Structures are given as C-alpha cells and as structure tokens.
Chains A and B, each alone.
Chain A
Amino acid sequence: DDEEDLQQRGVFEFEFSDRPLLPCYNIQVSLSQGPRNWLLLSDVLKRLKMSARAFRTAFAHIEVATIAEAEFYKQASLSQLFSSPEELEGFLPNSKELLDLVEISGELATLLGSSVECLDSRWEPVAAATS
C-alpha cells in the first residue's frame, strides 16, 4: 500500500475516451476521509448497459457509497466547475433520497472503455535536463 502511495503522490492521471466522459463529482461522503471523485452508479450502469444487481455481482469488490441527494447537491453545487445551470438541474436540493456513487479508479475507467495515461509531475524538468 505504501508503495502504491509513493507511486500515486506526484502522478497526474489523464483519462482518455472516445465518448463524452460521465460527469464526475468531487464529494466528501464520510467524515473519515476527504473528498474523492465519484461517478453516479446510475450513469455507470446506463453506460455499461447493466442492472445494479448484475454490477454488484460482477464487481463485488468495487465499493458503492451512498449519500443523501440533498447533501450531494450541496457539495456539488459549491464547485466552480459546475457553474452551468444545466449541470445539476436533474438533482433536487431538498431530497432525502439516497444516491449510489462509485469512486473513479483505473479499473472503472477501463470498464467504461477509457484508457489512462500517467504523468509524473516532476518528469518535465528531469526530461528537459537530459534531452
């Protein structure tokens, strides 16, 4: 795990897709960890053409987090990147309904047909010095 941390610390990840990417929300779902990047499970299921049950069976190791829609809306609407009125228009600010979220990961990106390119943020000066 420590080795993985070391690898991830200074690394930019670029996800590439030939289809428009699903909306990604930077949300803190629990008090024990900071904000993470999540996709709506419903968006993922639509793209994969899978039922929730089939997804949970096939990918039992992928954690599904739950958040109240009102809390989700509150956090998502604070983002300056969601400044367009149409981005969050499907959500209800006062709803007590629960939303299912899945965290973005390399595995999920691959499942959705994306490819991920990684770039060490220190690579540029290192590369420039040796070229």
Chain B
Amino acid sequence: FDHSKAHFYRYDEQVSLCLERQSSSSSTGRDKSKLTLRQKFVRCSARAEVRHLRRVLCQRLSVEKQQVQMLFNNESLPDHMTMKQLWLLHWFGKAQPLVLHYTIKDKQTR
C-alpha cells in the first residue's frame, strides 16, 4: 500500500460550495457583472482555508486580495478557517452545496 501521496490535497474529501456575490448598492451594472463570478459553483479540498478561497476569487475576478471578503450569514469569516470547520460549524446536516457570500470592496475607498 503506497501512502506517499495520501497527503495530496486532491485526494482529500471535497466540499461543494455556492459563492454568491453580496453586492453593494453603489456598484454600477457593468461593475456588478465584471465583479461577479460567472461560475459560482465551486469544489475544493476540505482542507482549503478561507484565505485560499479569497485568493482564488482574486485570480478569477482580477481584483486585489484586500478587496475580497468572505461572509457567512453576513459575518466575515476568519482567513484561517478551513472549509471542513466551516461546514461542521454552519452546515452540518444540510445538503450540498454550502452557500457563502463574498463582497468586493471598491479599490479607491480602501
């Protein structure tokens, strides 16, 4: 039995997420669509952390990390919380996907 690859993230349990944008009323229509994920259903390792998710959103939406905030029930999520912790804390007993929200802050107002 080969254990050498057992720690790879790709073999972890995967979580299924739905990332919804919580938009501010000040965003214009064009900004809204540019800063909203076209593919909002996401699957990743249960060991991925909120900070990884934020980083990936930055890549996808071409914004800076400081602009992206991850929320659950309107509360900001700590960067080092894993998807597994998040699931057990807030989604245990519920069906997939876990619904999270994100906000994109205006770059100029940081």
Question: A residues bordering B, Cβ < 8 Å?
Answer: 5, 8-21, 23-24, 26, 31-37, 79-81, 83-84, 86-87, 104, 114-115, 117, 119, 121, 123-124
Contact = CB atoms under 8 A, between A and B. Distances in A.
Contact of A13 (B3, B9, B96): B9
Q: Which 10 A-B pairs have the closest CB atoms?
A: A16-B39, A84-B95, A15-B43, A26-B13, A17-B41, A14-B44, A18-B39, A34-B6, A83-B93, A24-B14
A87 B95 contact: yes
A9 B8 contact: yes
Contact of A35 (B11, B52, B84): B11
A34 B3 contact: yes
Given A14-B48, A86-B95, A124-B55, A26 B42 contact: no
Which of B12, B14, B46, B60 has the most CB atoms of chain A within a 10 A radius of its CB? B14
Contacts of B9: 10-13, 121
B73 to A, nearest CB: 18
Given A33-B2, A87-B96, A117-B56, A18 B13 contact: no
Contacts of B95: 84, 86-87
A34 B56 contact: no
29 contacts: A5-B5, A8-B8, A9-B8, A10-B9, A12-B52, A13-B10, A13-B45, A14-B43, A14-B53, A15-B43, A16-B37, A16-B60, A17-B42, A18-B39, A21-B16, A21-B41, A21-B43, A26-B13, A31-B1, A37-B11, A80-B88, A81-B46, A83-B92, A83-B94, A84-B95, A87-B96, A119-B56, A121-B9, A124-B55
